[in-house]
Every structure is written in C-alpha cells, then in structure tokens.
Structure 1
C-alpha cells in the first residue's frame, strides 16, 4: 500500500513538527496524533492563561508604582502622604517578574503558532520547555522576594502602607483602598502563576514524550513496509 503523510483533518493543530510516512488508515497512529494535538492545545491554553496573569500583574503593580511616583513628595516629607522610609522593592520585584513571565510566554506562543518556527524542532522543543521554566523561576523569585521584604516590621512597603490606610476615604489620588486591592490582586496572581507554569512545564514534557512515541511508531511502521514497497 502506498505511504502518505497523514495529519488528521479534524485536528486543528499538527500532531507533530515533522511529517510521518504512515498508512492513512492506521488507527493507532490516528489516536496518537489526536492525543498529541490535544496535549498541544492544553499547553497553549495554559501558556495563554499564564501570559494573561503576567500582563495583569505587570499592569497592576506598574500602575501602583506610577501612582506612588506621582504623589510622593521627596523634598517635603512632612507634607507627604507616604512615609519617609519606604521600600518599593516588593512591588518592583512583581513588575520585573511579571515582565519576564510575559516575555517568556509570548516566546512560547510564537513558537507554537508560527509554522516556520514550530516546524523547526531543534528550536521549538527547547523553547517549549524554556518558556514555562523561565516563567516558573521568575514567579517564584518574585513571590519569595516580595514576602521576604514585606515581612519587615520597621519599614513599610506599598502593600502594607496602602492596606493600613485603605479605610480612609480620599476624594483624589492616591486612593489607598484601590491601591491596596490592586497590590493584593497582583500578589494573588503571582502565586497562581507558580502552579500554572509548573503545570505548563509538565504538559510540555508529556507532549515531548508522546511526540517521540509517535515518531518511533511511524519509523517502525515505515520500516516494516519498506521491503514490500
């Protein structure tokens, strides 16, 4: 029987980067191809969710820093709404960490969506693992750094100060209540990012294992048919 390059037309994503020379009616191959496509869809979905979390953290924490920079009075501390001793590093850590998460996940999505890059296995496979690994490391470092510094009882952070005065009604900026909620939201999203990126890393490993099994099966099938071809 003549061999043909088979990709299940009902699957939106290619089952793997390379073309497999197998019988189009091979039920096992069709099943494995669908599995690879499903895993790939799940991985891309998790990556997209992680990207949205990263963008949200960057926006929330970045806006909080912007409000602080526009409302504190460095040369007139006795008039300032902010304390003289203030530690912005926890919020800065969230901004930097979320930026790394965003860049890593954008790279991961581009490698999965752009056909020319996706079909370049030596490049696509490392990035498939590097994106969630960088995101996981950045989220962990940001969270650890945030809680280590925010635990101080002598110097306020943006979160501790705004939440302390969140009940104060303010008719103009900075609105401590809004900043408190935004700061907490960015921290919660950063915590959520950790299991998300870990899950994406695990799914990437599962996908690679399944793709290797598919490639081995296709090679074995091709080898058994080659003498009679």
Structure 2
C-alpha cells in the first residue's frame, strides 16, 4: 500500500498560513486596544484615571508578545516550506524537525498566555483588564450634562475595543489549537514519507531481482 504524503504537507502549509494570518490579526487588535488605553487612560473619564492601579494590562501585553513570537517562528517555517532551494518535500526528517521546532514552543507559549489572560480577566471587578472594563461599559450611557464630551472622552469606542480584546484572546486559543494540529500533521507526514520511501525501495529491489531472473 502506497501513501501519498503530499496532501498532509499541503494541509500543514495551509494551517501554518492560517497561524500567520491569525497572529497578524491578534497583533493588530491587541496592540490597538493597548494603544487606545495608553492614550486615553489619563484623559478620558471613562477610564477612571484617578485609579490607574485598578487596571492590569499585562494580559494584553502577553497576547502581543506571544503573537509576535508565534508569527516569527511560524513565518520562518512557512517561508522554508515555500522556498524551492530548501527542498523540504524531499527532506522529510528536516521538515518534521523544522515544523515541530517552530510549532511546539509557540503552542506552549500561546497556551500559557491564554491561561494567564483568563486568570487576569477573572480578577474583575477587583482588578480590571482592558477586555473586562470595555465589555462592562460598552453599552453604558453618559450623564445628560456630559453628552457634549469630545469623541475621545467617552465610551463610544468601547464596543469595538471589547470585541477586539476578545478576538485577541480567543484568537490566541485558536492559534494554539492550529499549532497542535500542525504538530500532529508533522508526525503523520514524516511517517508517510518514510513509509513511501520504504515501499519505493522494496519496489526497486523487487524490480532488480526480476531483471536478474530474466537475464
């Protein structure tokens, strides 16, 4: 029985591409929410600037850091997969090592980041994250005498910030699952490559024996 490893390699490349795309989106959304917080926290009354210690943004920073690391590692493997000179399809062991070497650290980091951010979110209302705070007050209305506040001194952007914060967190979870799947495909692809090479050797040996018999 001959196993074609090409579909496994293609699936792994597609998954790696999705990981790269998700990480870019996570970087954009998490960095944007943190940027808005840093700009408005000292001026926007909706951020309660009198109590800056109430907010914990370490979770958002961790999401940014994990996405950056995962993007660098996954992007490197994706580039190696697409560059003909590297010739990964014909070097199954190198491909498997490169895939696992890029996916395993990223998977562990993203898992730890998701757990860490979730723990911080569960500390609300004693301590709030950008996500818990914006989601809590995204639908709140200012007092009537405050309706004339400028757009950067209200909670008009809280709905968008809430959804972006959630995307960064749950997107990191999706990345972790994709990376786990990629590692599984790495093992399956390596086994398929080795099995195919073994069957080809057997076929070649059998052909040589038949040629000798005919002679």
Where on the TM-score scale, by shorter chain, does this alignment land: which range? 0.7 to 0.9
- How far does residue 197 in structure 1 lie from its aligned partner after superposition? 1.3
The match for 1:117 among 65, 86, 103 is 86
Q: How many residues align?
A: 196
- Report the CA distance shift for 1:133/1:40 in structure 2 as closer, same or farther (over 3 A): same
Query: In structure 2, how many angstroms separate the alpha carbons of the residues matched to 1:123 and 1:172?
Result: 54
Counterpart of 1:99 in structure 2 is 68
* TM-score after normalising by structure 1: 0.76
Query: In structure 2, how many angstroms separate the alpha carbons of the residues matched to 1:47 and 1:79?
Result: 40
The match for 2:113 among 113, 138, 142 is 142
Query: In structure 2, how many angstroms separate the alpha carbons of the residues matched to 1:171 and 1:162?
Result: 18
Counterpart of 1:42 in structure 2 is 11
Gapped runs of 5+ residues in structure 1?
1-27
RMSD: 2.4
Counterpart of 1:161 in structure 2 is 133
The match for 1:55 among 24, 37, 47 is 24
Counterpart of 1:84 in structure 2 is 52
- Bigger relative contact order (CA 8 A; separation at least 6): 2
- How far does residue 136 in structure 1 lie from its aligned partner after superposition? 1.3
1:95-117: CA deviations, max 9, x gaps? 11111221121112112111222
The match for 2:196 among 204, 214, 218 is 214
Q: Identify the structure with the greater helix proportion.
A: 2
- How far does residue 80 in structure 1 lie from its aligned partner after superposition? 5.7
